[in-house]
Amino acid sequence: MLEYEELRDSKEAEKLCLKAAPECAGMRLDVFLQERAEGLTRSYLQKLIRDGMALVNGKKGKAGGKLRAGDVVELTVPEAASLEVCPEDIPLDILYEDQDVIVINKPKDMVVHPAAGHYSGTVVNALLYHCKEDLSGINGVLRPGIVHRIDRNTTGSLVICKNDHAHRALAEQLKEHSITRSYRAIVHGRLEDDGVVRAAIGRHPVKRKEMAVNVPNAKEAVTHYRVLEKFERFTYIECRLETGRTHQIRVHMKSIGHPVLGDDVYGPAKCPFPGLQGQTLHAMTLGFIHPSKGEYLEVEAPLPEYFEALLKKLRMGSEGAGK
């Protein structure tokens, strides 16, 4: 068996078959699965384990059970699509809206669409209340209208499609890399010059919730960055995506030794700013050809208050500032 193998049966359930590598010896079963089953919370995984949905070498596993090298873990995740996603009266910061699309400024700590462990409080729940039936159905009941995503702790511009025509048009622009996507970020270390990162991104072979560069089955990924402000130990930058891989900016900046400040997955274990929750990454500018009007539309999401406050602290604090 390979180091990891994924099997999927969309009609009944999602099944993962994983083999514990030598470095996983002694790891708790729930921790092992949390690192490899993307989108599943530890509490939800513990419930699945209690329900007998996780087998270790063919036998029912225990959440706190310690794995040995070579153990084969089989996890069955019940079909999510059978769940009803309910409209919720959650305020949306709307940047632009017409009969085809709606662009919102997504706040931090908000998941875009329902997934295991997150079936309420998502952008989709809010959209179902705001848009009623006016959402494209191409991505099914769990992701109506969703044509692209940004991470839970990333803020900023997100476009949602209200009909299938708009969805197909924007999906094609995403495929052709013609959509303008500009981000703002604060990264560790001092970058002296603008640059570009060209490094293919794929699923980490061991830490299955993470992405990595230059791994098997990686896909082309290109990120352009421009230095906006330099501080003693940090740099404020603009990033423009040429491609749109999962965690692309976060993985690329880590790969060149400048992880995004506050990133609790790809950055340092200890955040230098106590109280900062999640990465300082903001999807500021989003531009695309309008699916019906045929004209270029560009929307900008202002920096969130926490981001502005952090920049002010860096400009005034002991970090020093320069340009």
Which residues belong to the active site? 151
Q: Provide Rg for the chain, Cα atoms.
A: 21
The pair of structure tokens assigned to 188 is 């560790």
Residues 6+ apart with CB under 8 A from 98: none
DSSP of 171-193: HHHHHTT-SEEEEEEEEES---S
Residues 6+ apart with CB under 8 A from 69: 20, 21, 22, 24, 25
Indicate the helix (H) or strand (E) that contains 137.
none
The residues pairing with 322 across neighbouring beta strands, listed in sequence order, are: 230
DSSP of 42-74: HHHHHHHHHTT-EEETTEE--TTPBP-TT-EEE
In angstroms, the CA 199 to CA 212 distance is: 9
Q: Residue 89: exposed, middle, or buried by beta-carbon count in 10 A (0-12, 13-18, 19+)?
A: exposed
Among residues 111, 135, 134, 138, which one has the least CA distance to residue 123?
A: 111
The pair of structure tokens assigned to 183 is 């981000």
Angle at 216 between CA 214 and CA 221, to 5 degrees: 45
C-alpha pair distances (Å), 60 with each of 55, 56, 194, 221, 280: 5, 6, 53, 40, 41
C-alpha pair distances (Å), 26 with each of 23, 32, 100, 230: 8, 10, 52, 43
The residues pairing with 86 across neighbouring beta strands, listed in sequence order, are: none
